[in-house]
Amino acid sequence: MLRFGRYVRAANVEDALEVLRFRKGAQVMGGGMWMRLSDRTVPCVIDLSDCGLDKIEETEDEYRIGAYVTLRDLECAADFNYRTGNVLNAAVHDIVGVQFRQLATVGGSVFGRFGFSDVICALLALDSEVELVGAGRVPLATFIDMPYELDVLTHVIVKKHDYLASYQCLRKAATDFSTINVCAARWDGTWHVAVGSRPAKARLLAGEALGVSSAEPTADEIARAVEAVRGLAYSSNMWGSERYRRHLAGALTARSIVQAAHYASTEAYQAALAACTREEAIR
Amino acid sequence: MSGKLMDVTINLNGKKVAAEVAPDMSLLAFVRDHGCKSVKCACETTNCGLCTVWLDGRAVLSCAVPMARANGHAVTTLEGLQEQSADFARCMAEEGAEQCGFCSPGLIMNVLAMEREIRERAEAAGEQAYMPTDADMDSYLAGNLCRCTGYTSQRRAIRRYMASRFESAPAPEGAWAGTIVSGEGE
Amino acid sequence: MSMIVTRESERENLTHVGSRAVKRDAAALLSGKPLFTNDLAPADVLSVKILHSPHAFARIRDIDTSRAEKVPGVVAVYTYRDVPDRRFTLAGQSYPEASPYDRLILDRTVRYVGDEVAIVAAENDDAAARALKLIKVDYEVMEPVLDFTKAKNNPIVIHTEDNYHVNGAWINNDRMHNVVASGLSEHGDLDTAFAQADIVVDETYHTLADNQGMMETFRSFAELDAYGRITVTSSTQVPFHVRRMVANALDIPQSRVRVIKPRIGGGFGAKQSGCNEIFCAFVTYKTGRPSKIVYTREETFSSSNSRHEMRMHVRLGAKNDGTIVAIDLYTLSNQGAYGEHGPTTVGLSGHKSLPLYNRALASRFAFDVVYSNTMPAGAYRGYGATQGLFAVESAVNELADRLGMDPCELRLKNLVQEGERLAQYDDNVLYSCGVSACLERAMEMIGWKDKPLRRDLGDRVRALGCALSMQGSAIARIDIGSVDLRLEETGFYTLSIGATDMGTGCDTILAQFAAEALRCDTDRIVVHGVDTDVSPFDTGSYASASTYLTGMAVVKAAEKLIAELRRRAAGFMGVDAADVLFDGDELLAFEPGVLDIDGVEADRPEFTDIDDDIDAIARSYRVAQEAPDAEPVARMALAELANKLVAGGDGDCLTAHAAASSPTSPPPFMSGIAEVDVDKATGKVTVVDYVSVVDCGTVVNENLARVQAEGGIGQGIGMALTEDVQYSDRGRMRTRSFMSYKVPTRLDVPNIRVEFAPSYEPTGPFGAKSIGEVVINTPSPAIASAVAHATGNYVRTLPITPEKALFGE
């Protein structure tokens, strides 16, 4: 069972950072859903409940998602989801249950940088940054590889674009962790594909590394993306073998690109679907 | 063991309850200590939904809420919703859907939360609230595990109850107005 | 052994049997009343926690509890040095138990990761938890046997203790070769039969040690009563067996133990083994103080009991026209570290699967049950039949596919019929059997004839698969159910039972039987929970026994009570008891001869091997049933009679006691057809429709029977698709929570469609058989076959993960 050595309710995020830096072993608690699974004492738990981080704010060119926005709030944020291809709704709505998502926070999901994270996978394909009290704004792709420094995450920022996006994952059972999750998004004229639950941290492929450039990718282009995705590292655990994950990553990449893209004609769409059919192991 | 105790006050089922507790004490343990035995613990991993209570009117897992966070908030358990839950309880009983009954309080709390949320969202949008689809209800309640029933009898009870509370959604414009048979998906 | 035999012609006249009576405890359960074990524990109990072994096989060299004992609030720490050196079993079975006596409360040798090493009792949970961490154990770690397929004759022997004890030689125990039990039953000449086969399916199937996953984990509390006796309140299916276990474990007389069963949050067989009652009983015995133990979900997964993992080799011989001529089944059952339910579960893998194809010229069923250093197995709904039916039904499905035959048609050609003598079922005669009707109706429900086995839907394939199931109803000649039925002041009845309602509704079902027999509303029947001090003996709720067996005892007791009521009322009215009729509310006296009944003998059914007292039941049931046209000469209200009987003078409170046991265990039957979608690129299997038709004899309560069926199928879907028990290389269970062991959520289960095809079981109360277990057996073989039709991959090791469906095994 998780124990608190001390409990500090910070008045503002700067205070929180100070406590974090000066109290040995101090940790910020998000929803606490993951943290509470460990059997240990956290010397000092910092609560940001009073810091006003529980809102999604919209500016002219970005969405600022407070670290204490719950996954349920994120899922139900209609305008935000509408503008971002509904990928965050798709990523979170099968996570455990409503009562869980009412507590789990965006900040906790992102700061933890868990390999299985559905939230990170979806955000990574979008134009996302995190805002830290100490380090300031950092692209999400950079942040997920940063060491766990003593800093306080206050916001996740998603910049506005005309997103075309699709999130796909495979859960062995409903509400289970993803065996693989994939998010494809086209923005600023470029395709981005994030692959998570490899089971290591999510990876982002874009531009030339992905091999897809046209707005309406052809089956051959998608096949290049599938190959690129399969080139990432995968390994085995209880949720799937390395072989299966590699296969799934490709198959779901093809599906997510075809789903995300807007094909002008049915013929083009059908032709692109051939890339998905190619991934079918059952004929 | 937490180093320090703290004074907490919550509004539990409409009554002010104050106590000196460890800040890491779970809301689940607290409400059980204060007589709300309907709230059950059936996992330690936030997977089962049996400990569902309302925190400021929203359904949450009480096992995952430390008292330090519950402090100052309103908590509702089934003990505080005896009248409001009676109609749904009757629907459950008439289907035999409670079976062992151990998971029933958590499910009831979430079904009533679902009903309330549908109403509130519709109100906020200035729209009429309609009966949700079976798929929507399953999705909303997915966090409530049950090992006895295979869920089918619960669905019958929930559908019957919700239908008594909401008008059915109008068919989309241009759609065939007859009975929509689902299941084939082709 | 006496038997009540009832008649099919009476079924249409029944009022309460067949109704949809709401469960008697429904209102209290649904309003969240404190009814469960942990809700009832006294506030000042000691908290009991267990230190579990981190090693699969080790001997304790030394154990130092001194630091743990110094933790403030710790009252005691117990180790193997403190417990009686007398072995026992935790299997909830009738004495003498088939399971070997191979346990101590704490043993110096630990035999699986999770085995108990020490017991801590403290004033609160925190202190107990802290103390656990301070116990220092010096283990001599030994090489374990983790692979049960290598356990037999392994040089590593798991049970070598001197005081190991086996109650019955019939189990063929050979523990020095790690064999808990073995056996063989043959019928016909197998070689000759196989020689007639044109085709032989020869495959091996494997089911895992699934967890029962009831929502309420194991828990119990103990206290001393006014007489210094140990009273254990436990979430158990077997209170009377727990009384014996506690007495055996503590080495005290059973008279010093009392067990109370409150409401139970599910059991499914898990609570047919004692799990933690012995620990709190031991603490209370030692300290004299009340104590409580509540297992965590992790302990419930990894330190209790599960289904027996089984590997089954099937050889199925048939002619080209689909006629099954020979079946050969060998089952290897993984017992884990201790022997609970080992010798008995394995039998069902053959005895509850082979009789479906009873017409085969020959069959053989052989088995070994072996110890290994994994968690002990125990009872789980289906009890071996589930495993055996996965193997045999899968083989039959593969036979159909190889012959290019419709799997349903192939079955209809071979199925067992009413009146047959079941060679692999103790040679019992099958008095009631609706298995063909079950299959035919399920085919209609799903539209079998209009659908191909496989349809391409673009990115997924939709496919069908079917399976059949049978089980028993109580253990013949071993189980016993008894009840006390008492007439109370104002004319209501108190029904005391020893059968344990675990959420299934047996309290309600038994009240329905009583109300039917006594011709009154169920409201007038009060039913008690179980308390071994006051409830009549019952072996417990398992083996699908309560409805069939205890139900029979209720009917018998009601008959006795009616006879007494008539006798006493006749005395008060000054007439002959033979001329008194009881219509439920009144006792009516008629002129002599008016009530004479003819024709009881005329439609007496013929039974082989069954003793019966059909005359008693038939006559008094008809007396209650049919009031003659004649005017009564005297009448007395039941309330008046009851009030006279509790008054002084001529009063004599009426109690009827009856026990039932059965020479046969009539099988219920069930069909299941699964329609699944398999995603062509991911292999993800989605059950889109599941239809099932059950023959449980007379349906006593349609709502409760339906929920039993739907619930069993839901669990079966979990077993088939998502419940994937995994161990580490060192024998540590990795699936120790609902986070990694996936019981189905409501998103994993379709709307299950259940109908009934009730046959009439003449030996059952009002024609009823059992339903609790038969319902879990069809999903695994039906879904596996549907997946095979969709993908061409025959998955023979459960569960059918997307990966196996996609790539094959």
Q: How far apart are CA C134 and CA C177, in angstroms?
A: 37
DSSP character string of C711-746: HHHHHHHHHHHT----B-TTS-BS--STTTS----T
Residues 517-576 of C with CB under 8 A from B: none
Please write the tens of the pLDDT for every residue from B84-105.
999 999 999 999 999 999 999 9
Q: How far apart are CA C268 and CA C383, in angstroms?
A: 10
The topology under which CATH files domain B86-165 is DNA polymerase; domain 1 (1.10.150)
Question: Per-residue confidence at C541, pLDDT binned at 50, 70, 90?
Answer: confident
Q: How far apart are CA A216 and CA A268, in angstroms?
A: 8
Give C-chain residues touching A241 at CB under 8 angstroms.
803
Residue in C354, C323, C314 with CA at minimum distance from that of residue C470:
C354
Q: How far is A218 from chain B (nearest CA, A)?
A: 26
Identify whether the C-beta of residue C468 lies closer than 8 Å to the C-beta of residue C393.
Answer: yes
Cβ contact, residue pair A99, B66, below 8 Å: no
End-to-end CA distance of chain B: 57
More confidently predicted of C540 and C249: C249
Smallest Cβ distance to A281: which of C721, C801, C806?
A: C806
Identify whether the C-beta of residue C332 lies closer than 8 Å to the C-beta of residue C106.
Answer: no
Q: How far apart are CA A237 and CA A235, in angstroms?
A: 7
Strands (E), C593-731: 634-637, 655-660, 669-679, 685-695
Task: Provide the 3-class DSSP secondary structure of residue C654.
Answer: coil
Please write the tens of the pLDDT for every residue from A120-131.
999 999 999 999
**Count of other CB atoms within 10 angstroms of residue C513:** 28
More confidently predicted of C14 and C739: C739
Q: Which CATH class is domain B6-80?
A: alpha beta
Question: Per-residue confidence at C3, pLDDT binned at 50, 70, 90?
Answer: low
- Confirm whether pTM is higher than 0.90: yes
Question: Per-residue confidence at B12, pLDDT binned at 50, 70, 90?
Answer: very high
The alpha carbon torsion through C192, C195, C199, C201 (nearest 10 deg) reads 50
pLDDT of residue C772: 95
* Residue-averaged pLDDT of chain A: 97
Please write the tens of the pLDDT for every residue from C649-665.
777 889 999 999 888 89
Q: How far apart are CA C678 and CA C154, in angstroms?
A: 42
Which of C296, C457, C728, C803 is the best substitution to test chain A (most A C-beta atoms within 10 A)?
C803
Strands (E), C532-607: 580-582, 586-589
Residue spans per domain, chain B: 6-80, 86-165
Q: How many residues are present in chain A?
A: 283
Residue in C702, C677, C701, C671 with CA at minimum distance from that of residue C689:
C677
Smallest Cβ distance to C726: which of A238, A276, A281?
A: A238
pLDDT of residue B178: 41
Q: Please, what are the domains in chain A?
A: 3-50 (3.30.43), 56-159 (3.30.465.10), 164-278 (3.30.390.50)
Q: How far apart are CA C156 and CA C723, in angstroms?
A: 30
Average pLDDT of span C250-265: 97
Residues 213-232 of C with CB under 8 A from B: 213-217
Residue spans per domain, chain C: 8-33+476-660, 431-473+665-809
End-to-end CA distance of chain C: 50
Question: Per-residue confidence at C508, pLDDT binned at 50, 70, 90?
Answer: very high
Average pLDDT of span C541-561: 91
Sheet containing strand B52-55, edge to edge, reads B15-21, B6-12, B74-76, B52-55, B58-61
Tokens found for residue B97? 């859907």
* Residue-averaged pLDDT of chain C: 94
Average pLDDT of span C718-727: 98
Report which DSSP code applies to C786: H
Report whether pLDDT(C346) > 80.
Answer: yes
Cβ contact, residue pair A94, B141, below 8 Å: no
Q: Given this chain, do its domains C8-33+476-660 and C431-473+665-809 carry the same CATH topology? A: yes
Q: Give the chains touching A; criterion: ≥3 Cβ pairs < 8 Å.
A: B, C
Average pLDDT of span B125-149: 97
**Count of other CB atoms within 10 angstroms of residue C631:** 10
Cβ contact, residue pair A100, B64, below 8 Å: yes
Cβ contact, residue pair A37, B64, below 8 Å: no
Average pLDDT of span A77-81: 97
Q: Which CATH class is domain C8-33+476-660?
A: alpha beta
Share of chain B above pLDDT 70, in %: 90
**Cβ-based burial of C138 (10 A; exposed 0-12, middle 13-18, buried ≥19):** exposed
What is the bridge-based pairing of β-strands A41-47 and A26-29?
parallel
Q: How far apart are CA C672 and CA B16, in angstroms?
A: 54
The alpha carbon torsion through A213, A283, C752, C213 (nearest 10 deg) reads -80
Report which DSSP code applies to C338: S
Average pLDDT of span C206-214: 98
Tokens found for residue C411? 């079955």
Give C-chain residues touching A168 at CB under 8 angstroms.
none
Structure-token match 């076959």, residue found: C785
Q: Chain B within 8 Å of C263 (Cβ-Cβ)?
A: yes
Tokens found for residue C688? 């889109």
Q: What are phi and psi of B26, to 5 degrees?
A: -80, 150
Q: How far apart are CA B174 and CA C508, in angstroms?
A: 50
Which of A23, A89, A98, A175 is the best substitution to test chain B (most B C-beta atoms within 10 A)?
A98
Host H or E run for residue B120: helix B104-124
Report whether pLDDT(C476) > 90.
Answer: no
Rounded to 5 degrees, what angle do the CA atoms A123, A124, A126 make? 65
Please write the tens of the pLDDT for every residue from B23-79.
999 999 999 999 999 999 999 999 999 999 999 999 999 999 999 999 999 999 999
**Count of other CB atoms within 10 angstroms of residue C644:** 17
Q: In the CATH scheme, what is the code of domain C431-473+665-809?
A: 3.30.365.10
DSSP character string of A67-78: TT-BHHHHHH-H
pLDDT of residue A9: 96
Average pLDDT of span C728-750: 98
Give the sign of the dihedral formed by CA A195, CA A198, CA A203, CA A209: negative
Identify whether the C-beta of residue C433 lies closer than 8 Å to the C-beta of residue C417.
Answer: yes
pLDDT of residue C542: 86
Nearest CA in chain A to C684: A172
pLDDT of residue C31: 98
Residue in C77, C41, C105, C38 with CA at minimum distance from that of residue C290:
C41
Q: How far is C610 from chain A (nearest CA, A)?
A: 49
The one-letter code for the residue type at C280 is C
pLDDT of residue A104: 98
More confidently predicted of C630 and A29: A29
Q: Give the chains touching B; criterion: ≥3 Cβ pairs < 8 Å.
A: A, C
Please write the tens of the pLDDT for every residue from C409-421.
999 999 999 999 9
Phi-psi region of A124 (alpha: psi -120 to 50; beta: other; left: phi over 0): alpha
Identify whether the C-beta of residue C507 lies closer than 8 Å to the C-beta of residue C537.
Answer: no
Give C-chain residues touching B43 at CB under 8 angstroms.
297, 737-738
Rg (CA), chain B: 19
Cβ contact, residue pair C745, A251, below 8 Å: no
Please write the tens of the pLDDT for every residue from C439-456.
999 999 999 999 999 999
Share of chain C above pLDDT 70, in %: 96
